[in-house]
Amino acid sequence: MTLLSAAFLASRCLAEPEWVAPKRLYEIKDNPAIGFFQRIVSMTVSDKEDALYILAGPPDGIYIYRRDNGASWKRFQLDEPLESGDRVCSCSGHVWFVHKKQLFEIAENGKPAEPKTAPAPLPDSIADAICDPAGRLLLVNGARTEFRRYDAKGVQDLRIGPPETEGDQTPGAAKASMPPFNLITDIAIDIFNRIYILDSRARTVFPFEQNGKQLKPVSDDRFSDIKFPNTSHSIAVDYDRNIWVVNPQQNSLDAYSLFGTLVKRIGNNSENIDNGDLGFPFITPAQIIIDADYKLYIIDSAAADVKVFEIKPQ
């Protein structure tokens, strides 16, 4: 090994991520009609509606806020208690609600109902729902082994998962190969409709082009001593295609480049975080979202609130 290559390897191993102190824009911890939340189950952002949807309670319901300033907008109270795996998703004029791993649509009266025109074919059970910038719905199956995408008319146009059995195959679909991931811990989509699958057990993120072409997986940088967290449960992708993950072991948000290098970190590091009188950025981050306007949304499970920050592009 030459002296130059040795110095390069040493610099890679010793390189520290940039500690980021994003500007806090607002915080949502209650609804004017019901008071403070005691728990928040999940959230989603609708760029087209300029809205933030939150599943929270009690009383358990769907609470909708203006995305630009956090002002309360609408709320739909639910008759059944929320469960930890419930999700809400606004996509192409529909408000989809995943409850007990089944798909419902929020009707005009604000109540969950059987979809009038459900996306097809649906998986037997559903674990997650997300809408891409093109207005297409993505569903993760209950076993978290596959995802399907549907166009604005509800027709499946992409499926990535284990090969279907003979009787379950989508008519006209090409024979599928085994996916690179074993478990879909979380799913995110960037502004170019690329799909990112977090498999925390594999310590890897698997990116796909919107046509389903697999891109190079993102895992540990072999030149770094900092390992990709195997307990991460949420992922988001920013404008520079940095992949942000919740790191429960360090109680931080970590951003990795497409080469697997830890480049940025947000955490409660008093020497690096200057957030004025607002205190630490979070206590226990549970879910993260990054929208097209460079806003970072964090569900803080310990505080039972949603904190929204501005992360400016470089």
Structure tokens at 141: 């199956």
109 belongs to a structural domain: yes
Inform me whether the pLDDT recorded for 12 exceeds 50: no
What the block records as the tokens of 121 is: 């074919």
Residue 209 has a CB neighbour count (10 Å cut-off) of 12
Domain count along the chain: 1
What pLDDT shows up at residue 178? 86
The answer on pLDDT for 7 being more than 50 is no
What is the domain-level CATH number for residue 225? 2.120.10.30
Confidence class of residue 275 from pLDDT cuts 50, 70 and 90? Answer: very low
What's the whole-number mean pLDDT along residues 76-88? 95
What global pTM score does this model have?
0.89
Q: Between β-strands 147-150 and 137-141, what pairing exists: parallel, antiparallel or unpaired?
A: antiparallel
Contact 181, 206 (CB under 8 A): yes
Q: What single DSSP character describes residue 282?
A: -
Tokens in use for 295?
């806003």
Domain-located, residue 5: no
Output 186 or 224, whichever has higher pLDDT.
Answer: 186
278 has a pLDDT exceeding 50: no
270 has pLDDT over 50 = no
Residue 166, pLDDT score = 56
Q: What does DSSP say about strands 94-99 and 102-106: parallel, antiparallel, or unpaired? A: antiparallel
Secondary structure string (H, E, C) spanning 202-250? CCEEEEECCCCCECCCECCCCCCCCCCCCCCCCEEECCCCCEEEEECCC
pLDDT at 128: 97
Determine the average pLDDT of the residues in 245-253. 91
pLDDT at 279 > cutoff 80: no
Provide the pLDDT for residue 265. Answer: 92
Q: Which residues contact 69 (CB under 8 A, 6 or more apart)?
A: 25, 26
**Domain-embedded: residue 10:** no
Q: Where does the pLDDT of residue 276 fall: very low under 50, low under 70, confident under 90, or very high at 90 and above? A: very low
The tokens for 172 are 């006209």
Radius of gyration of the chain, Cα coordinates, nearest whole angstrom: 20
Please give the mean pLDDT across all residues of the chain. 88
Residue type, 219: S
Whether 224 has a pLDDT exceeding 80, the answer reads: no
Measure the CA–CA gap between 248 and 230, rounded to whole angstroms: 9
115-153, pLDDT tens digit by residue?
Answer: 988 999 999 999 999 999 999 999 999 999 999 999 999
E strand or H helix at 192: none
Whether the link from the prior residue into 121 is cis, omega within 30° of 0, is yes
The per-residue pLDDT for 314 is 63
Mean pLDDT for 212-236 is 85
**pLDDT tens, position by position, 169-218:** 555 444 557 899 999 999 999 999 999 999 999 999 999 999 999 999 99
3-state secondary structure (DSSP) of residue 256: strand
Q: Which domain covers residue 130, as residue numbers? A: 16-310
**Cβ(112)–Cβ(104) under 8 Å?**
yes
The two structure tokens encoding residue 30: 């209650």
d(Cα 214, Cα 243) in Å, to the nearest integer? 16
Report the C-alpha dihedral over residues 43, 46, 47, 49, rounded to 10 degrees.
-140
Q: What is the mean pLDDT of residues 23-32?
A: 95
Contact 50, 67 (CB under 8 A): yes
| Selection from 214, 264, 189, 252 nearest residue 19 by Cα | 264
Question: Going by DSSP bridges, is the β-strand pair 87-91/102-106 parallel, antiparallel, or unpaired?
Answer: unpaired
